[in-house]
Amino acid sequence: MSVLSFESVTLPGSDRPRLNAVSFSLDQGECAFLIGPNGAGKSSLLRLVLGLERATGGNVKLADRAVTELTPIERAARVAWLPQHLSFQDALTAREVVAIARYRFFESRDRALESAGQWLERVGAMALAQRRVTQLSGGEQQRVKLAALLAQEAPLLLLDEPANHLDPAQELEVYQLLRHEWQRGLSVLCVTHDINLVSVVGEPERVRLLGLMAGKLRFDTQLSDAAMVERLRDLYGIAFTEVVQTGDSRVFVPARLSTPEEGEP
Amino acid sequence: MRGVVLLVLVVLACGSAVLVGPDLGGDAGRFVVWQLRVPRMLVGVLVGAMLGLVGAAFQALFQNDLATPSTVGTTAGATLGALVALVFGVGGGVEVLPVTTAFAFVGALGTSALVGLVAMRGRARVSDVLLAGIAVTLASAALSQGIQAVADMRALFAAAQWSLGQLPQLGFGGVEVLAPIVLVSGALVLSQTRPLQALALGEELAHAQGVSVRRVRLLVLVGGALGVAACVAWCGPIAFVGLIVPHIVRRTTGPQLRTLLPLSALVGAGFLVACDTLARVVWSERELPVGVVTASVGAPALFWLVLRRS
């Protein structure tokens, strides 16, 4: 059963469409990464799923109901979102922030706080529960945001560059967490530039890659795709080479980095 | 604990509002205390609570420290509406206050609707809404001045007096009319505590978490407009309560709206009543308008808070 489907979706923009006849569907328990150059329309695609944008053509459906027909609570029960930019203004505690994400449940404040504690525990951030979010480091804040994402208990997670501005260890943690949640049965759609961290989440043949460029879906394949190097070149407009790995992971680097030419800076 | 301290301070403010001043003794003394000072103190409690609450709610709604009824057009619209009523003929006194309130409410709703036109657009930014509020405030203020310019001398004097902000001597009759309006409006605003709290993480995330952002904007703007309109009709535009009180409370008890909203109402009540007592006794010749006192106490206090933060 599909948790999310795009049927020939078009979203207008000022000079060209931000999305142009995009079609794909995501099944229950699937994990897909949305990649592509900046400005390709990746974030817009996520915003359509949340009803933050309205398509002028086609349909966006969450589990067979159009997003535009859902009430806010119904939508929040189907999909949760980790935005790319989220800065904490108010000096709330981490636990309070996560409890806010329980909005869709009509439960007591105590129940929400208790549940928030459990989700903080799950992302390994229980120690932060009473700390003020405005005083946490970037990596700690990201954990709190992930706990809030999970606390909404939606079957589909949308993440927009979840490891942005994190150090390599923290990046890895984020993708490992994503792996756990996916293995638990959640569906994942994640915008990312970290192609090389995708294999942290799952085996190359099980992880889907959607390539978006200039509002059009250029490919819809698995990480195991033999023609990945060509696809990445097509997507980003620069040559890539694959660094040979042992095991399941696949690593791609821009060609200029892998074979530096003599005499060039 | 800090909440208890605040409560004690507020009770002290209310007590001194009743007790401070010359004691005439006998029946005259009892009349002054029970028919003049107590109802006046109660009006101060209701108006101060309303202004403090709406100020805190608007700051949460617009996610901006500057958002208060005075800056997003509500007070200016209510002032315009009440001025129309005052200058063009409904007169003064308790019996016409509901009429003045209705005019003020229409004015406040009018400006709120204009600001709401911007706020209800799905993609409006908070800063756009604030800009619209400032534009509406300036326009209403200009219209208010225009009305005063064409008013006759007696109406002009009454309007000028009223527009300085003053707790009226209306007896319990005034309290009976004001209290239900304030309670309804306060209940409406307080009922939105949870969705308002969710806005702290940004409107888009709140939307994704299931909050109907348009609905919370609508209810808080209408509820706030009603309450502020009643306050303005009764007392004129009183500056600084809605701005400074939530700031002080936030520094004392943190940003949790669950405590911030009710405590802002509580502290607003105490602040206004204390300022009114000062206004009554600070100069023996005549009473000062309470608006003058709230501004001259509030402005330096706010300035000090800002200086200490930066």
Q: Is A111 inside any structural domain?
A: yes
Q: Is A105 inside any structural domain?
A: yes
Q: Do B202 and A83 touch (CB under 8 A)?
A: yes
Confidence (pLDDT) at B91: 58
Span A167-197, pLDDT tens digits:
999 999 999 999 999 999 999 999 999 888 8
Q: What is the mean pLDDT of residues B98-113?
A: 85
Q: Which single residue is written with the structure tokens 């009743």?
A: B18
pLDDT score of A263 more than 60: no
**pLDDT level of residue B248 (50, 70, 90 thresholds):** confident
Beta-carbon contacts of residue B304 (< 8 Å; ≥ 6 apart):
none
Cβ contacts of B124 on chain A, cutoff 8 Å: none
Q: Which of A52, A89, A91 sits opposite B63 (nearest CB)?
A: A89
**pLDDT level of residue A260 (50, 70, 90 thresholds):** low
Q: What is the mean pLDDT of residues A109-138?
A: 93
Chain B: nearest CA to A229, how far in angstroms? Answer: 36
pLDDT score of A261 more than 60: no
Q: Is A127 inside any structural domain?
A: yes
Pairing of strands A240-243, A251-254: antiparallel
Distance, in Å, from the CA atom of B116 to the CA atom of B225, rounded to the nearest integer, reads: 11
Q: Is A171 inside any structural domain?
A: no
User: Using beta carbons and an 8 Å cutoff, which residues of B are at the interface with A?
Assistant: 63, 122, 194-195, 197-198, 200-202, 204-212, 254-256, 258
Q: Is A139 inside any structural domain?
A: yes
How many helices and strands (H and E) does chain B possess?
14, 0
Distance, in Å, from the CA atom of B254 to the CA atom of B249, rounded to the nearest integer, reads: 7
Confidence (pLDDT) at A226: 87
Chain A: nearest CA to B246, how far in angstroms? Answer: 13
User: Using beta carbons and an 8 Å cutoff, which residues of A are at the interface with B?
Assistant: 50-52, 71-73, 75-77, 79-81, 83, 86, 88-92, 96-97, 100-101, 103-104, 109, 148, 152
Q: Is A96 inside any structural domain?
A: yes
Q: How many domains does chain B have?
A: 1
Q: Which single residue is written with the structure tokens 């990464």?
A: A33
**pLDDT level of residue B90 (50, 70, 90 thresholds):** low
Residues B239, B297 contacting (CB under 8 angstroms): no
Chain B: nearest CA to A72, how far in angstroms? Answer: 4
Residue B30's CATH number: 1.10.3470.10
Confidence (pLDDT) at A79: 96
Chain center to CA of B148: 22
Q: What kind and span of H or E run contains A221?
A: strand A216-222
Q: Is A103 inside any structural domain?
A: yes
Q: Which of B197, B208, B258 sits opposite A81 (nearest CB)?
A: B208
Provide the 3-class DSSP secondary structure of residue B282.
Answer: coil
Q: How many domains does chain A have?
A: 1
Closest CA to B35 of B159, B171, B221: B171
**pLDDT level of residue B123 (50, 70, 90 thresholds):** low
Q: What kind and span of H or E run contains B130?
A: helix B126-150
What mean pLDDT is reported for chain B?
Answer: 86
The percentage of residues in chain B with a pLDDT greater than 90, rounded to a whole number, is: 30
Distance, in Å, from the CA atom of B48 to the CA atom of B52, rounded to the nearest integer, reads: 6
What DSSP string describes A88-132?
--S--BHHHHHHHTTTTS---HHHHHHHHHHHHHHTT-GGGTTSB
Q: Which of B201, B209, B256 sits opposite A104 (nearest CB)?
A: B209
Cβ contacts of A83 on chain B, cutoff 8 Å: 202, 204-205, 208
Residues A10, A21 contacting (CB under 8 angstroms): yes
User: What is the span of the domain harbouring residue A104?
Assistant: 88-153
pLDDT score of A212 more than 90: yes
Closest CA to B94 of B163, B43, B156: B43
Q: What angle do CA A135, B202, B57 make, to 5 degrees?
A: 95
DSSP B289: P
Residues recorded for chain A? 265
Q: Is A118 inside any structural domain?
A: yes
Q: What is the mean pLDDT of residues B253-275?
A: 93
How many helices and strands (H and E) does chain A possess?
9, 12
Identify the closest residue of chain B to A79 by CA–CA distance.
B208
Residues A217, A23 contacting (CB under 8 angstroms): yes
User: pTM to 2 decimals?
Assistant: 0.89
Chain A: nearest CA to B124, how far in angstroms? Answer: 12
User: What is the span of the domain harbouring residue B51?
Assistant: 2-309
pLDDT score of B105 more than 50: yes
Distance, in Å, from the CA atom of B301 to the CA atom of B289, rounded to the nearest integer, reads: 19
Q: What is the mean pLDDT of residues B29-46?
A: 88
Distance, in Å, from the CA atom of A209 to the CA atom of A196, rounded to the nearest integer, reads: 12
Interface predicted TM-score (ipTM) of this complex, two decimals:
0.91
Confidence (pLDDT) at A264: 47
Q: Rg of chain A's alpha carbons, rounded to an integer?
A: 19
Confidence (pLDDT) at B148: 82
**Interface-testing mutation among A90, A104, A106, A108, with chain B (most B C-beta atoms within 10 A):** A90
